[in-house]
Structure 1
Amino acid sequence: MPFWQIFHTPTAFADLSAKAALVRDITAFYVSGGLPDFYVVVVFRPMTGEDMWVGGKPAAAHDRDSSTLRRPFVRLVISHLAVQHGPNDAALGAMTDRINKWLVSHLEWYDWEYTIDEPPRGGWRINGLAPPPHGTDAEKKWAAEAKPSPWE
């Protein structure tokens, strides 16, 4: 399961169409790799007021010494459970590069950063079912039916 948490200052993603376009591209990225679309979960977490700090300063605040407003800040935390690269830094780096190619166009107006975590797959369930191994006929069935079902 790709689980994207997008923490952002209030002025980022103020337009629903910007959110929808990003979510479409995130989902398409994983579906193109063979994952069922319902594996992809994206959560936007607006951080109001002074709840997000960068470099010891509130990320949403004006520069206190001038009239310049800092660019909105976006922090993405991405968890990959469906397909893991393990200790293979080259494979993880290549996948990160593929994500960057399309993600940049959605975030070019912001200051942004992200991390990708790959927690153990064994701790993941959908409707109480352990997902089938990646690329198997069972996973392809889940993708075709757009829902989980028992498998062996």
Structure 2
Amino acid sequence: MPLWQLFTPKDAFTSEEKSDLAQRISDIYSGPRSKGILGFELPRFYTTVVFHEIEADSFFVGGKSHEKFVQIEVVHIARTNEGAAALMGISVEEILADYFESVSEVLKPYIKDRGYEVEFHVETAPFETWKIDGMTPPPPESAAERRWFEDNRSSAYNAEELNNDPRVATA
């Protein structure tokens, strides 16, 4: 789960622009370049993008109303920076540099090119604290997760789909 929350001025984006931006954000994690940039690819439905439109009299930066500012909060839970870096054999700093470069490319036409200022931050939550449809998501890179990726939805999985994953102990 990457959960993206964009706090934007009211009417900053049209419905079509929101849809396009959400697709591009999802591509960061599930698109053709995700494996090369991040070292993994996630099932597309893991990525959620929420736009919160804020009236000018309710959007303050430094105690002053700000009509050209976008605040973006991201929560990562499906993968950690450390895990992705280890998977690729690079440092956390390198994985973050690649990630932020990719994010900047995606956001630029919607934010910077339109004269908006932006603040962006990412938080990481423990994988163990996450459920989808009442289920613990399958382990990263397992056959079950691959099926979720291909089906683009959650579904029950069994121990056989985890047997090929050395990180999962089975009886």
Normalising by structure 1, what TM-score?
0.84
- 2:12 is paired with a residue whose SS is coil
In the other structure, the counterpart of 1:37 is 44
- Following superposition, the deviation at residue 98 of structure 1 comes to 1.8
- Following superposition, the deviation at residue 147 of structure 1 comes to 1.4
In the other structure, the counterpart of 1:20 is 19
- 1:105 is paired with a residue whose SS is coil
In the other structure, the counterpart of 2:86 is none
The structure richer in helix per residue is 2
Rounded to whole Å, the distance in 1 between the matches of 2:110 and 2:139 is: 31
In the other structure, the counterpart of 1:76 is 72
In the other structure, the counterpart of 2:88 is none
- 1:106 is paired with a residue whose SS is coil
Q: Which runs of 5+ in 1 are unaligned?
A: 61-71
With CA pairs under 8 Å and 6+ residues apart, which has the higher RCO, 1 or 2?
A: 1
Normalising by structure 2, what TM-score?
0.75
Identical aligned pairs, as a percentage? 29
Partner deviation per Cα, 1:35-84 (whole Å, 9 max, x = no partner): 11111111100111422211220113xxxxxxxxxxx2111101111111
CA contact (8 A) 1:3 1:79 kept: yes
CA RMSD, Structure 1 to Structure 2 (Å):
1.7
- Following superposition, the deviation at residue 10 of structure 1 comes to 1.4
CA contact (8 A) 1:12 1:74 kept: no
- Letter of the aligned partner of 1:76 in structure 2? I
- 2:23 is paired with a residue whose SS is helix
1:139 aligns with 2:145: yes
1:122 aligns with 2:128: yes
CA contact (8 A) 2:21 2:106 kept: no
1:53 aligns with 2:49: no
In the other structure, the counterpart of 1:67 is none
Q: Which runs of 5+ in 2 are unaligned?
A: 35-40, 83-90, 160-171
CA contact (8 A) 2:56 2:66 kept: no
- Letter of the aligned partner of 1:145 in structure 2? D
Partner deviation per Cα, 1:115-144 (whole Å, 9 max, x = no partner): 011111111110011111222211110011
1:111 aligns with 2:111: no
Q: Which moved further from structure 2: 80-89 or 110-119?
A: 80-89
Relative distance call for 1:127 and 1:92 in structure 2 (3 A) is same
Partner deviation per Cα, 1:92-133 (whole Å, 9 max, x = no partner): 232122211222122121121210111111111100111112
- Count how many residue pairs are aligned between Structure 1 and Structure 2: 140
CA contact (8 A) 1:12 1:73 kept: no
